[in-house]
Amino acid sequence: MTGISTATAAPSDDRTLVHLAVVLAGLLAIRVIMLALAGTNLMFDEAQYWAWSQEPAFGYFSKPPMIAWIIGAMTGLCGHGEFCVRLASPVLYTGTALFAYLAGKALYDARIGFWAAVVLATTPGASFSSGLISTDVPLLLFWTAALFAWARLLDTRSWGWTLALGAAIGLGLLSKYAMVYFYLCAAVYLVAAPEARWLLRDARGLALLALPALFLAPNVVWNLENGLATLSHTAANAKWGGSLFHPLKALEFFGGQFGVFGPILFGALLWIVARAPRHGSAGPERLLLAFSVPVIALVLTQAFLSRAHANWAAAAYPAAAILVTATLLNGGYRKLFRTSLALHLAFLVLISAGNVFAPRLAAAPWGAAFKRLVGWDEVGQAVRDKLQARAYGAVLTEDRVVTSQMLYYLRDVSTPLVAWRPFPAPRDHFELTRPFMPDTREPLLLVTLRPSVEYVTRHFERVEALATARVPAGRGSPRTVRFYVLDGYKSR
């Protein structure tokens, strides 16, 4: 035993788990119902992941394959509507909360585990993300499972927990490469906790490197066969090629964490971090700091050097949820804890209602956030109308947003869709897997949202501009869809 855990078994633990199951089942039911009532179209990323799921593989241009596998499994059971594409999200968040309970119980007790699970399930980030399907959803599931397994491994030195931890890390890496942060956090913890350094001299430590590598191996092979596409995209996404001094972007990312984790919870986390040098930290607190603060610090540095989206630090919050919950409840700050929970429940209601009434809200002065969630089904219908009026060899797109949305909203159309590739190296998955080729059957129906696509049309002998379609897409200008008939491709 390492002395990390302060947990003790109690007869009430089973009752606590039953109560948690009821709470999480209620949250899941609410989210599933709201998902069924949602008036939103798929976002670009969601449509892209759905398109990937129709072509099962061990890798895709910008992400590892787990998200596509999950969507493929769910739509295979449920169908291909927006509801089914997203349905795995609230289900997986329920699993994440259960692992948070197990980790909180392992490190403290069942009471802390219960409330940590509720906190993690109701953070603003979770309430927003559970209405969509994204790579963060499986990442957080496997990260939280790995956190639980790590705590149990350090307490038991069991080979069983070693294998469980290795599998969780491997599955996390197949979900999002950000799972590699787990090794950074583990290294920080081993520096701070000499009693855990036996892992560095033990076969179990080697297994924690080898087993995840085995899980990731098929994806590595896919990358090697496809020009290291995912790894290259991930590196390019960091955008370190220009100026490396962006304090305002770092400030924007830092401020965004109050929204992702919650204003009171993130403030409490900062307070815990600030007091740690003089207050000291040991046992569970030291472990949880090691598995939260380094992630935030790393992404904050990335934001300072280039840019970072608020969700890039999502992996920090399973550990942070347990840490803040234990600190507030055990430290006598129950009123502050209840206030935070009430705020998060209010946000859950607001975001759920927002998704249901998205088409109306998008037209409001403050509804810009909903604009990209509406109108794509109507764009698809406008394209379908053109295809019914005339026969085309293929639909041609020149932007991955339009490509992914049309693949989804024209999924019942037999006319093939191809992507224009202006450079030898592909810039997205569709340019990699379905590029326009000289032998593509003509005429082509070019669909674009750009006011000018001369860089495409100049490669064809005959170009005919068709009537545009203006699709309402929230407040401001409508989404203007332009159509061209292209024939007589001239080699570049």
CA 393 to CA 438: how far, in whole Å?
12
Give residue 2's pLDDT: 47
- Of 180, 216, 232, 222, whose CA–CA distance to 62 is shortest? 232
Q: Where are the alpha helices (DSSP H) in 10-87?
A: 13-37, 44-53, 66-78, 82-86
Judge whether 470 and 480 are in contact, CB under 8 Å.
Answer: yes
User: pLDDT 10s digit of each residue in the chain, 492 long?
Assistant: 445 666 555 657 789 999 999 999 999 999 999 999 998 999 999 999 999 999 999 999 889 999 999 999 999 999 999 999 999 999 999 999 999 999 999 999 999 999 999 999 999 999 999 999 999 999 999 999 999 999 999 999 999 999 999 999 999 999 999 999 999 999 999 999 999 999 999 999 999 999 999 999 999 999 999 888 777 766 666 665 566 787 999 999 999 999 999 999 999 999 999 998 876 667 899 999 999 999 999 999 999 988 889 999 999 999 999 999 999 999 999 999 999 999 999 999 999 888 888 877 766 665 667 777 888 999 999 999 999 999 999 999 999 999 999 999 999 999 999 999 999 889 899 999 999 999 999 999 999 999 999 999 999 999 999 999 998 876 666 889 999 999 999 876
Give residue 278's pLDDT: 73
CA 103 to CA 463: how far, in whole Å?
62
Which residue spans within 111-255 are E strands per DSSP? none
Q: Which residues pair with 486 in a beta bridge?
A: 444, 463
Judge whether 486 and 442 are in contact, CB under 8 Å.
Answer: yes
Q: Are strands 479-489 and 394-397 parallel, antiparallel or unpaired?
A: unpaired
Peptide bond into 438 cis (omega under 30): no
Domain boundaries, the chain: 13-356, 373-489
Q: Where are the alpha helices (DSSP H) in 280-316?
A: 284-290, 293-305
CA 263 to CA 74: how far, in whole Å?
34
Report the 10 Å Cβ neighbour count for 24. 19
**Residue 316 DSSP one-character state:** G
Give residue 11's pLDDT: 54
DSSP string, 385-400: HHHHHS--SEEEESSH
For residues 147-180, one letter each, b for 16 or more C-beta atoms within 10 angstroms of the residue's C-beta and e for the rest, the string is bbbbbbbbbeeeeebbbbbbbbbbbbbbbbbbbe
For residues 415-449, one letter each, b for 16 or more C-beta atoms within 10 angstroms of the residue's C-beta and e for the rest, the string is eebbbbbeeeebebbbbbbbebeeeeebbbbbbbb
SS (H, E, C) 425-484: CCCCHHHHHCECCCCCCCCEEEEECCCCCHHHHCCEEEEEECCCEEECCCCCCCEEEEEE
CA distances (Å), origin 464, targets 41, 226, 283, 461, 488: 30, 36, 71, 10, 12
Q: pTM of the full predicted structure? A: 0.93
Give residue 1's pLDDT: 40
248 Cβ neighbours under 8 A, 6+ residues apart:
none
Hey, is 485 helix, strand or coil? strand
Give residue 14's pLDDT: 80
CA distances (Å), origin 332, targets 18, 274, 324, 460: 25, 19, 12, 73
47 Cβ neighbours under 8 A, 6+ residues apart:
376, 404, 405, 407, 408, 409
If you search the block for the tokens 């190296």, which residue do you land on? 425
